[in-house]
Amino acid sequence: MTETTSQEGAQALENAWKRGCEFLGTDYAILGGAMSWVSERNLVSAISNAGGFGVIACGAMTPDLLDQEIQATKELTDKPFGVNLITMHPDLEQLVDICLKHKVGHVVLAGGLPAKTTILKVKEGGAKTICFTPTLALGKKLVRTGVDALVIEGMEAGGHIGPVSTSVLAQEILPNITDVPVFVAGGIGRGEAITSYLRMGAAGCQLGTRFVCADECIAHPAFKKAFMRASARDAVTTVQVDPQFPVIPVRALNNEGAQKFIETQHEVIGKYRSGELDLEAAQLEIEHYWAGALRRAVIDGDVEFGSVMAGQSVGMVKKEQPVAEIIQELVGEAQDAFAA
């Protein structure tokens, strides 16, 4: 590739994600997916320092813990970063207050449909709101409510997922929602994929799985090793054995824990059928099976019985490397794709 062609590719990429970069305040419109126990101060600040946009995963943190995490992240970077809040969190309003106190520029509201009052509170406090949408209709509704940007995440992603693939969501939503920046997520592991979604109208892309094996990521070495050994087909969704006992679909690496979960469902449902448990107690027992399983995998390294949440792009994660190197690889691949 000639130097002129390379420069043209770089300029084309800059133009394509200009809207996303301006919205985030970054060099590159690459967001780090908010992964519980993984997306904390070290990884978040590294992504932001490398020109991307790190996002703290608040998850089940208390307001005090989030307060400490934001402060610690600010001490590691002076670049923009966001905070992902779960809308079902019992202390959501206090968590929003913490974000606004720290003048966090972007609040990501996830895990359910946010209330209009919450969206307005974030905006009136001076921050931008980013929400996930699984459908075109809901995306339009969120835009009417005042959301500043959207993320569409396909079922290829790790963790809790919806039923539709990234490529279908992109075709359905990108041509029809242009009033706000729309970022694409789910199964993205290389820069060529970023280029293709930018060409379709995306403002940028969000990646989670690709950053798990970053040097700066605090995940246990066994957790990272499981990622580097895995192929795309190893990242599977949780199995539901009876529609009367719904299981929230989660994509993770298949392991002993996943197999035991199927056995546990059968055992619990058997107890319900025999009258040992009522319906509510049986449902709770099934729901509680994975309680603490993600922490056991990420922090303690129990990759056999813990929940090793991973997207299908895990097959493209082959080594541990610095965040800055990962981002430069993605940017280089995206530039080359534009140049070609």
pLDDT recorded at residue 39 = 98
Q: Angle of helix 191-199 relative to helix 323-339, nearest 10 degrees? A: 50
Q: What is the pTM of this model?
A: 0.96
| Same-domain check for residues 188 and 289 | no
Whole-angstrom Cα distance, residue 118 to residue 116? 5
Whole-angstrom Cα distance, residue 120 to residue 293? 35
| Same-domain check for residues 160 and 253 | no
Average pLDDT over residues 193-220: 98
The per-residue DSSP string of 227-252 comes to HHH--GGGEEEPPPS-TTS----EEE
How many domains does the chain divide into?
2
211: domain CATH number is 3.20.20.70
pLDDT recorded at residue 2 = 78
| Same-domain check for residues 29 and 83 | yes
Res. 82: pLDDT tops 80: yes
Query: What pLDDT digit, counting tens, does each position of 274-333 carry?
Result: 999 999 999 999 999 998 999 999 999 999 999 999 999 999 999 999 999 999 999 999
| Same-domain check for residues 183 and 296 | no
Whole-angstrom Cα distance, residue 312 to residue 319? 16
For residue 272, being part of any structural domain is answered with: yes
Q: How confident is the model at residue 216 (pLDDT cuts 50, 70, 90)?
A: very high
Average pLDDT score, the chain: 97
| Same-domain check for residues 36 and 182 | yes
Domain around 107: 3-218+317-339
For residue 267, what are the contacts with CB-CB under 8 A and spacing of at least 6? none
| Same-domain check for residues 178 and 276 | no
Res. 145: pLDDT tops 80: yes
- Strand pairing class (159-160; 250-253): antiparallel
Contact 252, 309 (CB under 8 A): yes
| Same-domain check for residues 124 and 182 | yes
Res. 8: pLDDT tops 80: yes
For residue 226, being part of any structural domain is answered with: no
Res. 212: pLDDT tops 90: yes
Res. 1: pLDDT tops 80: no
Average pLDDT over residues 144-162: 97
Q: How confident is the model at residue 339 (pLDDT cuts 50, 70, 90)?
A: very high
Q: How confident is the model at residue 3 (pLDDT cuts 50, 70, 90)?
A: confident
Whole-angstrom Cα distance, residue 138 to residue 176? 12
Contact 172, 150 (CB under 8 A): no
For residue 332, being part of any structural domain is answered with: yes
For residue 242, being part of any structural domain is answered with: yes
Query: What pLDDT digit, counting tens, does each position of 53-62 carry?
Result: 999 999 999 9
Res. 4: pLDDT tops 90: no
Average pLDDT over residues 127-153: 97
For residue 188, being part of any structural domain is answered with: yes
| Same-domain check for residues 13 and 162 | yes
Contact 6, 160 (CB under 8 A): no
For residue 223, being part of any structural domain is answered with: no
Res. 242: pLDDT tops 90: yes
Q: How confident is the model at residue 337 (pLDDT cuts 50, 70, 90)?
A: very high
Query: What pLDDT digit, counting tens, does each position of 12-50 carry?
Result: 999 999 999 999 999 999 999 999 999 999 999 999 999
